[in-house]
Amino acid sequence: MKLARYLMLRVSAATLVCAVVLLGLGFTFEVIDEVGNASPGYGFGQAVWFAVLSIPAAFVRDLPLIGLLGALTGLGSLAGTSELIAARAAGLSLARLVVLSCVPGFVAGLGAIAMAEWVVPLTDRAAASYKDNALGRAANDQLVRGLWHRDGSRFVNLESAQNDQIRALRWFDFDATAALVESGAAGQGVADEDGWTLDGARIANLVDQRIQVRTDVTLTLPIQVSPVSLYQAADAGVAQRPSDLLNLYRQLERAGLSTQRAQLGLYQALLLPLLILALVFAGAGFVLGPLRSSPIGTRLFIGVVVGLGFKLLQDIAGPVTLVYGFSPLLAVVIPGALAVALGAVNLRRT
């Protein structure tokens, strides 16, 4: 038990060092990029604070590479001092050694899911708002304009919304023959978990070739997802929070719309611990296989190449599945499966 804790502690420490170094480099480049866009009111200090607020998102994004480099350096340092040989001589099997090296990365992956749900949305919003205020422009990160959404036979035009506050909205209902039977408009409302509640709505119904108009109506549209999430899905592809992605998927499925973008984001968020396991497994295969006696520089170089290749494959596989209509799960599973296969091939050489 002490030996297992020692091995996990060494890998955890190496992973932490790699995280500090990698995030530190990303922080430096972010500051340089922001300083290059400096203007009155937004100088070096503001650029540094903006980069600080961007660190949580960078951590979640780069965690698979961090886990891979941590496994390579942690296990590599143990191999360099012959501690892995001593552990094997003490009765630690190769399979248990690989499992122990994967535990820190898996735990970090679970923490990353929690960060993506509760921390990253807040820090990203704070960073955007801080930059907007420093530049003297109105914050518009949560402003929605001109969004169209279909909910079954109802077409909704969200003309303006700020966060969950609806400022202007219109909708049109059609029957089974695609004939317009109702239209409505509202100047205010709020979106919550029960739907979009509209106040002071004006509704026009077509009944027996006559139009009946009702005013000052309060009603709730059964849309269980925020306007911002819908806007992000239409614009950037996915929302940030896993819970938002799940609600978005359910809403789009109920409306009979394509759910592939929401599924892709949800799979990428929830399967992050397994992707980290796959890369750590590949790293363990390198250290225990062909790179057992290689210097630390070689291991890091191989780790960066494999990690960047993994990231490139992920970035390509996502759009390909969306364009050709494949299951979004394939875009997440295939890169991880290739990493596992690479690790298995290397471990067979031991």
Domain positions in the chain are 2-133+265-347, 153-236
Predicted pLDDT of residue 138 = 55
pLDDT: is 145 or 120 the higher one? 120
Q: In the predicted model, what is the mean pLDDT of the chain?
A: 88
Residues 306 and 342 sit within 8 Å (Cβ to Cβ)? yes
pLDDT at 140 over 70: no
Two tokens at 106?
């898996």
Residues 201 and 219 sit within 8 Å (Cβ to Cβ)? yes
Predicted pLDDT of residue 233 = 67
Predicted pLDDT of residue 121 = 87
pLDDT at 147 over 80: yes
pLDDT at 60 over 90: yes
Map residue 164 onto helix, strand or coil: coil
Predicted pLDDT of residue 234 = 62
Q: What is the mean pLDDT of residues 250-270?
A: 86
pTM (two decimals): 0.85
25-29, 76-80, 184-188, 273-277: lowest mean pLDDT where? 76-80
Confidence of residue 238 (pLDDT cuts 50, 70, 90): very low
pLDDT at 45 over 50: yes
Predicted pLDDT of residue 143 = 74
| Of 198, 246, 254, 193, nearest in space to 221 by CA | 198
pLDDT at 99 over 70: yes
Residues 287 and 76 sit within 8 Å (Cβ to Cβ)? yes
Predicted pLDDT of residue 40 = 85
Confidence of residue 11 (pLDDT cuts 50, 70, 90): very high
The Cα–Cα gap between 31 and 88 comes to 46
Predicted pLDDT of residue 237 = 40
Predicted pLDDT of residue 67 = 94
Q: Which residues pair with 344 in a beta bridge?
A: none
Residues of the chain with pLDDT > 70: what percent?
95
pLDDT at 281 over 50: yes
Predicted pLDDT of residue 29 = 96
Give the distance from CA 230 to its chain's centroid: 16
Residues 329 and 274 sit within 8 Å (Cβ to Cβ)? no
Q: What is the DSSP letter of 174?
A: E
Q: What is the mean pLDDT of residues 240-269?
A: 86
Helices then strands (H, E): number in the chain? 12, 7
Predicted pLDDT of residue 258 = 81
Predicted pLDDT of residue 251 = 83
Confidence of residue 295 (pLDDT cuts 50, 70, 90): confident
Name every residue whose Cβ is closer than 8 Å to that of residue 39 and which is 6 or more positions away in sequence: 135
55-64, 151-160, 282-291: lowest mean pLDDT where? 282-291
Map residue 226 onto helix, strand or coil: coil
Predicted pLDDT of residue 273 = 96
Predicted pLDDT of residue 239 = 46
